[in-house]
Chain A
């Protein structure tokens, strides 16, 4: 490392961080707003499920619309832009070079948030496409696609211009993620919205996309970021490079085929192939367990409890659990009991809020003070957020999984699962409180930065002319 630094004229870390400042702010401020909006919508949906009279008079907040809007706000509003922000910074740091064309992602971030706004509004007004995870109508999804490509191009370019030629495992995961989303999102939108395929194929395309977004893309990004921050925050090297690479290839190879439940109305070869592929996910699962376990052990400084490392660790454990749940859902004996129940919802929520969101929180808490050059206004909120988010995810996901079991074991009876659903609302409440603390910190930081900018500008205008300038 030090040897490399003497050979290449690499940029110093503060300069790299400063070059990512504008894209990071443009992406993260909007993302933190959507995070709160998404959690509030999810809370409304969760309450409505066991108390149907709650907000029943408002047609905008019908259960079906709120659920779709909440999921899309969390995934497209928070997870994707926040992931892109972290990827921008990680790529710039790994490349040891300043970020190329930082203004393109700034423009793209505004296009992205406009797309999410249009999409969410359309869903609440009843104009969703009707396909799970693809509810945004054409206008919204085109904006998202354009924005993603606009961010991916300069980010991939900063990978191409890297001064540090050695590849790190995160490069593989994150570069694949930059290519994976435009491919799967465009394919799914073309085959479902623009030129719809017929009959059975629609369901196949929809579930294929849901799997490629929520399982494959989320795992690529979460693991790529996790494998970057784990050694960085512990001060111990990642164990080992080739395990991480094996996880990458097996995840990319087997992950794409999963996600079509055995009981779904598709020809048997499709669902059989899907469950075989899901069971093969045992291989990346073992790989991540080895990397995670080995990289944690040994001497080093783990930092304070409740700091960024706690978020990343929680996220990686959630990944292991959610993959285990995903594999269980593909096994015939278990899927007969749990398929099409709340258990599947528990799995996807663990993947979104327990895994990717937690890894992103940890990364953002680490990155943002460095990119802006000053600390959070309320650093003590970070620990509170970590505690609330951890507690919230446990009380949100575990009752949902148990509700799924109760449903499956009682012939899909809803009554059996209602009490578990009431408990899960409590968990979502904790998550909302934590997310509010996160958004407050981000927004306060953004406002401080703006204020500093105005102050500096004002100081520059009112400053007396220098003697040298007067003379010439």
Chain B
């Protein structure tokens, strides 16, 4: 039946199977793919948080999340101290607290920092320091400006707590009220401290 219909109608023109030229793929497109894969890998490394399910955009890693986490109590104090330390003290004393030769003595392992009381320690950033002083068995002879005088009491207390408890320094934290007391005791324009002056004060 259908054959009858077909014969009465115009024949479709012949159309052959399409052909494809078989020349080899040039190497540049494979090189390009590999380069893009490599760059993609670098981008993934920097932005993915390495499959950590708690890392969401725009943050890129667990460390970054930690930094922005709201904290309370002692942890908040330490985090605040770390930020202030890195802005104010770290330039000379080093982010690792090891000091820099010819520039600033170490804070890590320093007997002045780890002393039982923090009265002498608190005087140094508030008034500055000049002259000979022995730190961790080495003599240092240089000056330090009153770097902490402009800091609010809370920030100074936080930074003192930070240096007393970081890098293996196992000393007690410094409450803000004590910093306020030391500042009040120093008066408006204090003279820089020296080794001898510090030794006359209670620890």
Q: Do B17 and A276 touch (CB < 8 A)?
A: no
Q: A242-B25, A280-B40 are in contact. Are A1 and B19 (CB under 8 A)?
A: yes
Q: Do A280 and B21 touch (CB < 8 A)?
A: no
Q: Do B57 and A279 touch (CB < 8 A)?
A: no
Q: Is B11 at the interface (CB under 8 A from chain A)?
A: yes
Q: Do B19 and A242 touch (CB < 8 A)?
A: no
Q: Do B5 and A452 touch (CB < 8 A)?
A: yes
Q: Residue on B with the closest CB to A275?
A: B43
* Bound-state Cα–Cα, A168 to B22, Å: 11
Interface residues of B in 1-55 (CB under 8 A from A): 1-2, 4-6, 9-12, 14-25, 29, 32-33, 36-37, 40-41, 43-44, 47-55
Q: Residue on A with the closest CB to B53?
A: A267
| A1 contact set on B, CB distance < 8 A | 16-17, 19
Interface residues of A in 257-284 (CB under 8 A from B): 262-263, 265-269, 271-273, 276-277, 279-280, 282-283
Closest Cβ of chain A: how far from B13's Cβ, in Å? 9
State which of B19, B32, B52, B59 has its C-beta within 8 Å of the C-beta of A238: B19
| B135 contact set on A, CB distance < 8 A | none
Q: Is A231 at the interface (CB under 8 A from chain B)?
A: yes
Q: Is B60 at the interface (CB under 8 A from chain A)?
A: yes
Q: Do B56 and A168 touch (CB < 8 A)?
A: no
Q: Do B9 and A286 touch (CB < 8 A)?
A: no
Q: Residue on B with the closest CB to A169?
A: B20
Q: Do B25 and A94 touch (CB < 8 A)?
A: no
Q: Is A3 at the interface (CB under 8 A from chain B)?
A: no
| A279 contact set on B, CB distance < 8 A | 36, 40
* Bound-state Cα–Cα, A8 to B36, Å: 45
State which of A96, A231, A280 has its C-beta within 8 Å of the C-beta of B20: A231
| Segment at the interface with B among A12-20, A313-321, A376-384, A430-438 | A12-20
Q: Do A237 and B57 touch (CB < 8 A)?
A: no
| B9 contact set on A, CB distance < 8 A | 373-374
Q: Do B25 and A246 touch (CB < 8 A)?
A: yes
| A237 contact set on B, CB distance < 8 A | 18-21
Q: Do A460 and B1 touch (CB < 8 A)?
A: yes
* Bound-state Cα–Cα, A27 to B18, Å: 25
Closest Cβ of chain A: how far from B108's Cβ, in Å? 35
| B1 contact set on A, CB distance < 8 A | 456-457, 460
State which of A241, A266, A282 has its C-beta within 8 Å of the C-beta of B21: A241
| B40 contact set on A, CB distance < 8 A | 276-277, 279-280
Q: Is A355 at the interface (CB under 8 A from chain B)?
A: no
Q: Is A239 at the interface (CB under 8 A from chain B)?
A: yes
State which of A238, A240, A272, A280 has its C-beta within 8 Å of the C-beta of B18: A238
Q: A269-B55, A272-B47, A282-B36 are in contact. Are A456 and B5 (CB under 8 A)?
A: yes
* Bound-state Cα–Cα, A246 to B36, Å: 15
Closest Cβ of chain B: how far from A449's Cβ, in Å? 9
Q: A96-B17, A276-B44 are in contact. Are A268 and B55 (CB under 8 A)?
A: yes
State which of A266, A283, A370, A456 has its C-beta within 8 Å of the C-beta of B56: A266
Q: Do A14 and B11 touch (CB < 8 A)?
A: yes
| B5 contact set on A, CB distance < 8 A | 373, 452, 456
Q: Residue on B with the closest CB to A456?
A: B1
| A271 contact set on B, CB distance < 8 A | 57
Q: Do B18 and A267 touch (CB < 8 A)?
A: no
Q: Do A242 and B23 touch (CB < 8 A)?
A: yes
> A219-248, CB under 8 A of B: which get 1 and which 0?
000000000111110000111111110100
Q: Is A369 at the interface (CB under 8 A from chain B)?
A: yes
Q: Do B48 and A269 touch (CB < 8 A)?
A: yes
| A283 contact set on B, CB distance < 8 A | 29, 32-33, 36
Q: A96-B17, A452-B5 are in contact. Are A243 and B32 (CB under 8 A)?
A: no
Closest Cβ of chain A: how far from B42's Cβ, in Å? 10
Q: Is A256 at the interface (CB under 8 A from chain B)?
A: no
Q: Is A202 at the interface (CB under 8 A from chain B)?
A: no
Q: Do B22 and A240 touch (CB < 8 A)?
A: yes
Q: Do A231 and B6 touch (CB < 8 A)?
A: no
Q: Do B19 and A239 touch (CB < 8 A)?
A: no
Q: Do B15 and A13 touch (CB < 8 A)?
A: yes
* Bound-state Cα–Cα, A94 to B15, Å: 12
| B48 contact set on A, CB distance < 8 A | 268-269, 272-273
Q: Is A164 at the interface (CB under 8 A from chain B)?
A: yes
Closest Cβ of chain A: how far from B67's Cβ, in Å? 15
Q: Is A385 at the interface (CB under 8 A from chain B)?
A: no
Q: Is A349 at the interface (CB under 8 A from chain B)?
A: no
| A14 contact set on B, CB distance < 8 A | 6, 11-12
Q: A18-B2, A240-B21, A456-B1 are in contact. Are A269 and B43 (CB under 8 A)?
A: no
* Bound-state Cα–Cα, A461 to B32, Å: 69
| B19 contact set on A, CB distance < 8 A | 1, 231, 237-238
25 contacts between A and B (CB under 8 A): A1-B19, A13-B15, A93-B17, A232-B15, A237-B18, A237-B19, A238-B19, A240-B20, A240-B22, A241-B22, A246-B29, A263-B57, A265-B56, A267-B54, A268-B48, A268-B49, A272-B47, A273-B44, A276-B43, A280-B37, A282-B36, A283-B33, A370-B15, A456-B4, A460-B1
| A residues adjacent to B (C-beta < 8 A) | 1, 13-14, 17-18, 93-94, 96, 164, 168-169, 228-232, 237-244, 246, 250, 262-263, 265-269, 271-273, 276-277, 279-280, 282-283, 286-287, 369-370, 373-375, 452, 456-457, 460
Q: Shortest 10 CB-CB distances between A and B: which pairs?
A: A231-B18, A276-B40, A241-B20, A238-B20, A269-B48, A242-B25, A237-B19, A272-B48, A232-B18, A240-B21
